[in-house]
């Protein structure tokens, strides 16, 4: 079977959820090999095996986390030259995007981004990506030599352990890691204090758009979210306007979320946004414009003034929780 | 401090877009074309740097001849000159082809920094800046939400899932900026008038010496199918007559959220 590689991002010796999603897809396509880099990489190997990796390349050098992308690209390019796989899967993440794009330029091979599915087709790979906010699906194939590089969107695949996932063959690499070249060096990492659940993990999301009218009106969404144990998200329009940091952005250029309940407040439902949230199980929309596209996908839509409805809703939720 | 800013002309993102089912390309007829709003933040970041430290901002774009209008918009914001790589052979280029063309077009230009948006609003692959950095052998400072340049180094706050990383690279470097970095200025009438007289150099494929490595001859990928995605069904839409909040709360109870 064709070699399918997975660039398995890890944090402190544990695979990130995207790594397990990629492996779940990879094992449907071929024999998966995972590449796990940075301190703690070998600790992640066992879990990677449980999700289907037959072989795991590990390299523990701290250079992989001290310098962005380039050391990983150097190593991947060397490994690929020795034993070219048919396909390499990356997560459409901050790290995955930088590594995959640099690698494609280094190798001169196809990079297909924003993928939600990959299938075997005529001995190659057919890659499905949503365009126009997910209203259309395009299928793309590579026209260059192997490997095809694919950036898979987070949450496109539900991670599931492999049946009888055996311990993988682990190959520990010791290639020298050159961090002396001019590179992007991480000086420090700052964690921003977050209240409530992470957007990616939240079962309920309360999300705001331009219809809130002013940045200070996000406070009522914070309050509603706190009552519901929900995370707060935002549309690109309000992030571009500087009302909320980029980390809150849901959509094509932001995060993809799949909560059980998504409450869209003052969001018109531009395709840019809906591609990131249309996987929600249930969508509730509150908007003053009856013709807003968000109502075409909402399970419950309320046409009205968000400034009246949201405070009332906070009261309703409080009183019902009190009972 | 000389800054190159890469920009792209795109169909107005506020207008609904269509794919031609035959050619599998974007329908551009009858659609307003604009400077990508994400790129306006890149232009703004460049202008702020040269306003502080002196120097010039050069706008570079690849596209059909009418992409000149997007460059003029950036010039009206205050950028100094433009370069448009335009050639019928480059139509429908993919990201790698575009990166190769831009890299070839700026050969011989002296610059300290190349600034791009994180991704185009229409294509959204976000691959071009990293590919450009790789082709030029430069560091990439990506997803910047803050940018400072001093004593030969650029330092950014790089967006992460948990917060941000402070990342440093020596110049020259490539930086991609997120929408939250700044508020892009609106061109003043004076800027719009001045932009008409600013130099925009137009380069064809032969002039950048890239035969076979960019454009139609070097496509790395091909779209083979376009189908409509399964749409979600609309549920109930009701006017708020004072009971809207109660309706939502009832529904949330039904869903066992409260």
Give A310 to chain B, closest Cα distance, Å. Answer: 7
Q: What does the radius of gyration of chain B's CA atoms come to, in whole angstroms?
A: 21
- Residues B80, B59: Cα–Cα separation, whole Å: 8
A136-150, A186-200, B46-60, B167-181: the lowest-pLDDT one: A186-200
Token pair listed for B146? 């803050």
Report the pLDDT value the prediction gives residue B161, as an integer from 0 to 100.
Answer: 81
A135:B124 CB<8 A: no
- Provide the β-strand partners of residue A268: none
Distance CA B154, CA B115 (A): 11
Residues B106, B107, B108, B111, CA torsion sign? positive
The 3 state secondary structure assigned to B118-143 is CCCCCCCCCCHHHHHHHHHCCCEEEE
Put simply, whether B245 touches A (Cβ < 8 Å) is: yes
Q: Which residues is B3 bridged to in the sheet?
A: B57, B113
Q: Residue A12 — pLDDT band, cuts 50, 70, 90?
A: confident
Q: How confident is the model at residue A323 (pLDDT cuts 50, 70, 90)?
A: low
Strand order in the sheet with A117-121: A117-121, A124-131, A136-142, B221-228
pLDDT at position B17: 63
pLDDT tops 80 at residue A113: yes
> What is the Cα A58 distance to its own chain's centre?
23
pLDDT recorded at residue A194: 66
Start-to-end C-alpha separation, chain A: 59
Q: Quick: pLDDT tens for B70-87.
A: 999 999 999 999 999 999
CB contact under 8 A, A239 and B179: yes
More confident residue, B81 or A278: B81
In angstroms, the CA B39 to CA B45 distance is 10
Look at A94 and B161 and tell me if their CB atoms are within 8 Å: yes
Given the structure tokens 């001859």, which residue do they identify? Answer: B217
B143 CB neighbours in chain A (<8 A) are 94, 246
- The model's pTM is 0.90
- The kind and range of the H/E element at A91 are strand A87-91
Give B173's contacts in chain A (Cβ within 8 Å): 182, 184
For residue A320, give how far its alpha carbon lies from the nearest alpha carbon of chain B (Å): 7
Confidence at residue B26, expressed as pLDDT on a 0 to 100 scale: 67
Question: CB A137: neighbour CB atoms within 10 A?
Answer: 18
Of A113, A253, A297, the CB nearest to B118: A253
Identify the DSSP state of B12: -
Task: Give B197→chain A minimum CA distance, Å.
Answer: 30
* Residue B65 near chain A (CB below 8 Å): no
Q: What is the pLDDT of residue B47?
A: 98
Closest chain A residue to B238, measured at CA: A302
* Residue in B closest to A248 by C-alpha: B161
Torsion (CA) A114, A117, A121, A124 in degrees, nearest 10: 50
The alpha carbon dihedral of A121, A125, A131, A135 has a sign of positive
Contact assessment for residue A170 and residue A58, using Cβ atoms and an 8 Å cutoff: yes
Query: Is-contact A132 B19, C-beta < 8 A?
Result: yes
A141, two tokens:
């194939």
Q: Which residue of B has its CA nearest to A320?
A: B258
Contact B186, B124 (CB under 8 A): no
The residue of A102, A184, A200, A202 whose CB has the most chain B CBs within 10 angstroms, and thus the best one to mutate to test that interface, is A184
Query: Are residues A101 and B249, on separate chains, in Cβ contact within 8 Å?
Result: no
Nearest to B257 among A134, A135, A228 (CB): A228
Q: Chain A neighbours among B 166-205 (CB < 8 Å)?
A: 166-170, 173, 178-180, 183
Which residue has tokens 């993440």?
A93
Give the pLDDT of residue B28: 67
Q: Given an 8 Å threshold on Cβ–Cβ distance, is B252 in contact with A317?
A: yes
Contact check, Cβ <8 Å, A300/B131: no
pLDDT at A274 over 60: yes
Of A140, A189, A260, the CB nearest to B223: A140
Nearest Cα residue to A57 out of A149, A144, A168: A168
Mean pLDDT value across residues B117-141? 93
Asked if the Cβ–Cβ distance from B180 to A140 is below 8 Å, we say: no
Q: Which helix (H) or strand (E) holds A151?
A: strand A148-152
Task: Give the number of other Cβ atoms within 10 Å of residue A275's Cβ.
Answer: 26
Mean pLDDT of chain A: 93
d(CA B96, CA A280): 34
Cβ within 8 Å, pair B248-A313: yes
Among B60, B62, B53, B58, which residue's Cα sits nearest to residue B78? B58
* Cross-chain Cβ contact A228/B229 below 8 Å: no
Helix (H) or strand (E) holding B41: helix B37-53
pLDDT digits (tens, 9 = 90+) for B195-247: 999 999 999 999 998 877 888 888 899 999 988 888 788 899 999 999 999 99
Cα gap B103→B118, rounded to integer Å: 17
> Is residue A286 over pLDDT 90?
yes
Q: How far apart are CA A269 and CA A133, in angstroms?
A: 10
Q: Residue B177: name the closest of B115, B95, B225 by CA.
A: B115
Quote the strand ranges of A173-304, DSSP E.
185-191, 204-208, 231-234, 261-265, 282-287, 300-303
* 8 Å CB contact of A245 and B180: yes
Residue A85, CB-side half-sphere exposure with 13 Å CA sphere: 26
Q: Say if the Cβ atoms of A137 and B227 lie within 8 Å.
A: yes
With beta carbons less than 8 A apart as the criterion, state whether B69 and B59 touch: no
Q: Residues A57, A34: contact at Cβ < 8 Å?
A: yes
- A132 phi and psi, to 5 degrees? 50, 55
Per-residue pLDDT band for A65 (boundaries 50, 70, 90) equals very high
Q: Are strands A111-115 and B236-239 parallel, antiparallel or unpaired?
A: unpaired
Decide if B98 contacts B62 (C-beta within 8 A): yes
- Residue A188, SS3? strand
Chain A contact present for B248, CB below 8 A? yes
Flag if B258 and A320 touch (Cβ within 8 Å): yes
Interface test with B, best of A91, A105, A248, A264 (most B CBs within 10 A): A105
Query: Is the pLDDT confidence value at A159 over 90?
Result: yes
Say if residue B192's pLDDT is above 90: yes
Q: Where are the alpha helices (DSSP H) in B106-243?
A: 128-136, 189-195, 205-208
DSSP-assigned beta bridge partners for residue A210: none
The alpha-carbon gap from B181 to the nearest alpha carbon of chain A, in Å, equals: 8
CB A26 within 8 A of CB A32: yes
Compare CB distances from A313 to B159, B231, B249 and report the shortest one's residue: B249
Using a 10 angstrom Cβ sphere, with 0-12 exposed, 13-18 middle and 19 or more buried, the burial of residue A307 is middle
* Residue A120 phi, psi (nearest 5): -75, 135
The shortest C-alpha distance from B121 to chain A (Å) reads 8
CA angle B43–B97–A84, rounded 5-degree value? 125
Burial class (CB in 10 A: 0-12, 13-18, 19+), B23: exposed
For chain A, the farthest-separated pair of C-alpha atoms sits apart, in whole angstroms, at 66
Note whether A8 and A28 are within 8 A (CB): no
CA distance B21 to A49: 42
Tokens of B53: 């430290």
What count of CB pairs under 8 Å joins A to B? 281
pLDDT digits (tens, 9 = 90+) for A84-105: 999 999 999 999 999 999 999 9
């Amino acid at each position: 079977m064709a070699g399918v590689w997975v660039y398995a991002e890890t944090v402190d010796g544990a695979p990130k959820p995207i790594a397990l999603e990629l492996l779940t897809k990879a094992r449907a396509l071929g024999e998966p090999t995972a590449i796990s880099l940075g301190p703690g990489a070998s600790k992640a190997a066992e879990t990677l095996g449980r999700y289907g990796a037959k072989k795991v390349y590990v390299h523990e050098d701290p250079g992989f986390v001290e310098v962005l992308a380039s050391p990983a690209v150097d190593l991947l390019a060397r490994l690929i030259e020795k034993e070219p796989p048919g396909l390499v899967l990356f997560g459409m993440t901050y790290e995955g995007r930088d590594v995959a794009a640099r690698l494609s330029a280094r190798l001169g091979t196809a990079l297909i981004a924003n993928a939600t599915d990959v299938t075997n087709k005529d001995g190659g790979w057919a890659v499905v990506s949503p365009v126009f906010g997910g209203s259309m699906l395009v299928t793309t194939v590579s026209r260059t030599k192997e490997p095809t590089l694919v950036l898979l969107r987070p949450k496109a695949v539900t991670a599931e352990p492999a049946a009888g996932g055996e311990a993988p063959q682990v190959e520990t690499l010791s290639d020298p890691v050159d961090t002396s070249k001019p590179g992007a060096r991480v000086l420090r990492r700052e964690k921003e204090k977050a209240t409530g659940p992470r957007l990616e993990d939240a079962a309920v999301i309360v999300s705001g758009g331009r219809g809130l009218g002013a940045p200070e009106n996000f406070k009522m969404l914070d309050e509603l979210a706190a009552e519901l144990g929900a995370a707060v998200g935002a549309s690109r329009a309000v992030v571009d306007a500087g009302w909320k940091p980029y980390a809150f952005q849901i959509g094509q250029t932001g995060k993809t979320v799949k909560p059980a309940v998504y409450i869209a407040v003052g969001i018109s439902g531009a395709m840019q946004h809906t591609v990131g949230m249309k996987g929600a199980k249930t969508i509730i929309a509150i908007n003053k414009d009856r013709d807003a596209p968000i109502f075409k996908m909402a399970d419950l839509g309320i046409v009205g003034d968000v400034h009246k409805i949201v405070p009332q809703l906070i009261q309703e939720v409080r009183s019902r929780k009190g009972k | 401090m000389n800054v190159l800013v890469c920009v792209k002309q795109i169909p107005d993102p506020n207008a609904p877009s269509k794919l031609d089912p035959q050619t599998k390309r974007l329908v551009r007829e009858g659609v307003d074309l604009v400077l990508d709003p994400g790129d306006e933040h890149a232009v703004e970041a460049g202008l702020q740097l040269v306003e502080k430290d002196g120097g010039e901002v050069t706008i570079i774009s690849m596209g059909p001849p009418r992409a000149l209008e997007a460059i003029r918009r950036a010039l009206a914001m205050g950028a100094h000159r433009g370069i448009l790589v335009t050639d019928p052979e480059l139509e429908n280029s993919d990201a790698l082809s575009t990166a190769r063309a831009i890299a070839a077009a700026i050969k011989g230009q002296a610059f300290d920094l190349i600034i791009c948006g994180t991704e185009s609003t229409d294509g959204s692959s976000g691959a071009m800046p990293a590919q450009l950095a790789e082709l030029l052998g430069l560091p990439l400072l990506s997803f910047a939400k803050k940018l400072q340049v001093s004593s030969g180094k650029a330092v950014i706050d790089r967006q992460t899932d948990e917060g941000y990383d402070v990342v440093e690279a020596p110049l020259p470097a490539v930086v991609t900026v997120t929408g939250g970095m700044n508020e892009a200025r609106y061109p003043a009438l004076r800027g719009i008038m001045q932009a008409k007289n600013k130099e925009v150099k137009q380069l064809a494929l032969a002039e950048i010496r890239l035969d076979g490595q960019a454009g139609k001859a070097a496509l790395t990928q091909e779209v083979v199918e376009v189908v409509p995605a399964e749409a979600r069904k609309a549920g109930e839409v009701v006017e708020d007559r004072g009971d809207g909040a109660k309706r939502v709360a009832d529904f949330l109870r039904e869903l066992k959220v409260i």
